[in-house]
A and B are shown apart, each in its own frame.
Chain A
């Protein structure tokens, strides 16, 4: 029953980095910390969460962390998104070869499940979608492409994702998202940590 110590490391003089507390939902953590007085920005990543604040201020995170634990105990239902994908990625055949699946098998493995948004980063609106079928887990490409087109659906490591902008990238391209913009200048990122994404072939 002993209380676990929450590890908080200084990240310069205007941010702290915390180890992700066990058993606390990412969405609840983000919402509670963003509402915490004195906190400017919050980034929830795989193993860490970062909070930024004005230098020399010292926000009290304890009530927010407690609120996040409470919210995790009775969570709101996650937002769900269905993204239609044309499976025409340049690396589709290579992914099939590397995984030992057929092309149809790769597609089946990609569409058949909910993917939770584990973190947002790398590019504005770029969501790292977890819960990838373990058979599709591959290392990144040996050499990144100088330009991956906007809307490309790709996978690498335990993640799949949709490129919001044309950008260099080292993930394996399996398809193209249709009718879905991961980022819009008017509204920002379409996905948030904790959301569920299901791909649908077309």
Chain B
């Protein structure tokens, strides 16, 4: 059993996510920075996707007689994993917290001092992974689909959470109406009327009305979400490597019988 001793800033239980339910309005979730999440789990001897704590500030827990701390210092978030992983229940195909629905993780909410969370049976041998988040390297985006706009250098805003992070530095784009509700995913860069882009996070709503000017390449999302307020980010446009869309041909529906 793990006991939360101190917590400053949002902290919650995350896992690798609950994909496959976006049609119900349920975002896939998962860690903000998958690289750090996997490394924390491997360092505890767990499978890389075991439930662990994600903190946007600082958290200290007691496990048996040991005190363990995680501090989001080098990155926007830090992870605290314990051998065996957190033994939280499966809810709708995942074990992570979905705050907007109050489900998953520990009682569907942010962690508080005094919370007691069961721990699974310790698993394998620890392994130290070398995580390089390449803090200065550009972040790759696929432009569009709504209104491709030149993304250059931006600064990470202090405003951000698991639903999305804001960028400072307006983007010049032709005015696009906030259209009908369109599908959204993690990594989509929306342009609200203020001109300051929002990069949607793992818990973003599955639909939204602002135009999408670009989508961050999946492998680069963790490196972007790791950056702290005030850090710079440079975007570079790429074409999707192998995901060239097929132009499917539509067929006429079969004639009704008779």
Which A residues are closer than 8 A to B by beta carbons? 1, 3-17, 21, 23, 30, 34, 40-50, 52-53, 55-58, 60-62, 65-66, 69-70, 72-74, 119-126, 128, 164-165, 167, 183, 185-186, 188-189, 192-193
Contact of B24 among A21, A60, A69, A124 (CB under 8 A): A124
> Within B223-240, which residues are at the interface with A (CB < 8 Å)?
239-240
> Is the C-beta of B123 less than 8 angstroms from some C-beta in chain A?
no
B101 touches A6 (CB 8 A): no
For B19-58 the 0/1 string (1 means CB < 8 A from A) is: 1111111101000000000000000000000000000000
In the assembled complex, 21 residue pairs joining A and B whose CB atoms fall closer than 8 Å, in A order, are: A3-B250, A5-B250, A7-B247, A8-B246, A12-B215, A12-B240, A17-B182, A40-B20, A41-B19, A45-B207, A46-B180, A47-B180, A52-B19, A58-B243, A62-B248, A121-B25, A124-B100, A126-B25, A185-B108, A192-B23, A192-B24
- Most chain B CB inside 10 Å of its own CB: which residue of A14, A40, A46, A185: A14
Q: Which of the candidate stretches B7-15, B79-87, B168-176, B183-191 sits at the interface with the other chain?
A: B183-191
Closest Cβ of chain A to B53, distance in Å, is 21
CA distance A102 to B251 in the complex (A): 48
A40 touches B250 (CB 8 A): no
Closest Cβ of chain B to A19, distance in Å, is 10
Contact of A119 among B104, B181, B240 (CB under 8 A): B181
Give the chain A neighbours of B104 by CB distance below 8 A. 185
Q: Which residue of A lies closest to B239 (CB)?
A: A10
CA distance A56 to B238 in the complex (A): 14
B181 touches A10 (CB 8 A): no
CA distance A74 to B253 in the complex (A): 10
A6 touches B250 (CB 8 A): yes
> Is the C-beta of B177 less than 8 angstroms from some C-beta in chain A?
no
> Is the C-beta of B103 less than 8 angstroms from some C-beta in chain A?
yes
Contact of B254 among A58, A70, A192 (CB under 8 A): A70
Secondary structure call for the B interface: loop
Closest Cβ of chain A to B16, distance in Å, is 13
Contact of B144 among A1, A10, A72 (CB under 8 A): A10
B245 touches A124 (CB 8 A): no
Closest Cβ of chain A to B214, distance in Å, is 8
Which B residues are closer than 8 A to A by beta carbons? 19-26, 28, 91-92, 98, 100-104, 108, 141-142, 144-145, 180-185, 187-188, 205-208, 212, 215-219, 239-254, 256
Top 4 A-B residue pairs of the complex, sorted by shortest distance between their CB atoms: A121-B207, A12-B215, A50-B183, A189-B24
B245 touches A69 (CB 8 A): no
Give the chain A neighbours of B19 by CB distance below 8 A. 40-41, 52
